[in-house]
Each structure stands twice: as C-alpha cells, then as structure tokens.
Amino acid sequence: MALSLTAIHERFGVEVHDIQLAGLTDEGFADIRDAFERHSLLLFRNQTIDDATHIALAKRFGAIENRQDMTLKADADFKVPTVSNLTKNGTVADESDLQTLNLKANMLWHCDSTFLPIPALTNILIARTVTKEKGHTEFATSRAGWADMPEVMKNKLRGRMARHHYAHSRARISEELSKLPEFNKWPERSWKTVWTNPVTGDEALYLASHAFAIEGMDAEEGSQLIDEALGFVTQPEYVYAHAWREDDVVIWDQRAVLHRATPWNYNEPRKLSSICVSASSEDGLDLMRSIG
C-alpha cells in the first residue's frame, strides 16, 4: 500500500492522507516508519485516537519513555503525559507559575530527552485542546540545515561530544525553575553532535537547548559554537510552523528535527498529549555514545 503524501515544507515533512492511525495494520505501519525515516516529520489530520491507541501506536516505534521510572519494564501504570497550561484542578496556570515558566523553557529549540540515559527517537503529539490563534509548534530540519552548513562550522563539530543537562535549558528561563528536583534528577549526558540515520545514511546536527558544553573545548568557545550551530539550522528556511487543529497528530524524528513551542494567550487553555519513544541501537543510538 503506497501512502498518499503531500509536502508541507520544501526540505522536510509530509502530510499523510486517507489513513486512520487507530486500526493501523502492520503493513500500514511499515509504510509510516519508512516515511518517518525519509521525511522526518509526519502530519495526520482528523484522527480519532484515544490514549490506549496513542500508546499502542507509540509502542510500534519502540520502548515508551517513562520518566517516572526509566527502568520500569511493565507499563501498567503509564499515564499519557500532557503538555498544558491547565492545572490539576482544571484552572489555567498563571503566567508567572513555574508550570508556565517550564512551558516557556520548551520555547527554546531542542530535541526531547537528550538529558536522559536514553534520548527520544520520536514524540507523538496529539492536539486535544487548541487555542484560537498562536501556540504553534515550530520544527526545524537539522538534517537539511546540517547539509547546508559551511564546512568550517561542520569541521568544528565533527567527531565531538556535546554535554547535556536538563537544568541548563531551565536556567535560561529562570534560576528558580532550574533548581527544582525534577530538573536535577539525571546526571549530565554526552552525545555526539551529529546523528547518522542508519536507514538512509543522512546526517543531522544533534544539539539542543539542554547542551551546555562541547567536550575538549574551552567552555566559552563550546557554548558559542552550540549557539551558532543551533542558530544556523533554525534559520527560517529550515523551519515549519505547525498551526494546530484539534485531532491533529504530529510524529517527528528527534534525530533530525529540532522543535520549540511558541507563545499564546495564557488565559486560553491548550492541551497536547505527548508520548516519547526512546531511541534504540537500531536507530543508531550506540554510535552516539562515544567517538569511535
């Protein structure tokens, strides 16, 4: 079965038509996985998909990331995480709340979970409650950006490891936020600065707002290089801004795409369901752990 695809950006991303993700066959998933490897971002509109189907879809990509317990094998207690400004009692969080500040930290370009022992392969986001305007999620192709990057900048990055820590991206928004235990649970992690897709052979820049230093490089020089490289691959020609409609599903390749949230009127509720899937050796993870 060939998928019906239309491009949503010149360099990456496709909308997939005429498919319901609930009730996906193995053959249908194989086509989706292939499109994921090649196009890096997939958009599906008008999906009827509950939490159980969301979980089942995520499991087809690999092991579901469970931050409550990274070592948990059984996922009976897994609850689908949400990205939202709604508080536990259903009201909208105040703009100065730590919950809102944390959402603001998501407005820095990043890939998910580079601070965890295993980073994410993908995030499957579903729009549950959307705002009338704004609140787009922006995506940047770090694959096309890397392909176009001047050799002089590439040569500084090749064969290097970047150091990542969750508190670093939070400290850029608020010192108070960065000191919360949830952002200091995991020791820093180092990943190679370039991720090669084992299926297509494409390389992509692998850095994020959580990256604070380059191993073997002077602190200031390293953080400047991180900012310059992120700045290069997030130039407007590499960016697709997604305007959410309810029941949209977006699935993207964290190895080849950076993303960030954008602001909205915080008096309006906004809720996305989000499941990250951890990368595996088949996704090229082992090669990211050290220079060799």
Host H or E run for residue 164: strand 161-164
Closer to Fe ion by CB, 112 or 283: give it: 112
Host H or E run for residue 32: helix 26-39
Closer to Fe ion by CB, 112 or 253: give it: 112
29 touches 60 (CB < 8 A): yes
Q: Residue 65: exposed, middle, or buried by beta-carbon count in 10 A (0-12, 13-18, 19+)?
A: buried
Residue in the block written with tokens 């809102």? 100
Q: Which region among 111-119, 192-200, 203-211, 263-271 touches Fe ion (by CB under 5 A)?
A: 111-119
d(CA 68, CA 80): 12
Q: Which region among 104-112, 193-201, 204-212, 245-253 touches Fe ion (by CB under 5 A)?
A: 104-112
Closer to Fe ion by CB, 168 or 217: give it: 168
253 binds Fe ion per the rule CB under 5 A: no
Closer to Fe ion by CB, 156 or 271: give it: 271
**Among all residues, whose Cβ is closest to Fe ion?**
112
Give me the 126-155 binding string for Fe ion, x by CB under 5 A, dash otherwise. Answer: ------------------------------
Of 41, 43, 109, 112, the one binding Fe ion (CB under 5 A) is: 112
Phi, psi of 65 (to 5 degrees): -80, 125
Give the shortest CB-220-to-Fe ion separation in angstroms: 27
Number of residues binding to Fe ion, judged by CB under 5 A: 1
Give the shortest CB-269-to-Fe ion separation in angstroms: 19
d(CA 162, CA 207): 7
Closer to Fe ion by CB, 19 or 86: give it: 86
Alpha-carbon torsion, ordered 46, 144, 261, 124, to 10 deg: 40
Q: Residue 12: exposed, middle, or buried by beta-carbon count in 10 A (0-12, 13-18, 19+)?
A: buried
Closer to Fe ion by CB, 112 or 248: give it: 112
Give the shortest CB-27-to-Fe ion separation in angstroms: 30
Q: Which region among 27-35, 108-116, 152-160, 201-209 touches Fe ion (by CB under 5 A)?
A: 108-116
Collapsed DSSP state (helix, strand, coil) of residue 168: helix
Give the shortest CB-110-to-Fe ion separation in angstroms: 6
Residue type, 70: M
d(CA 226, CA 213): 8
Residues in contact with Fe ion by CB under 5 A are: 112
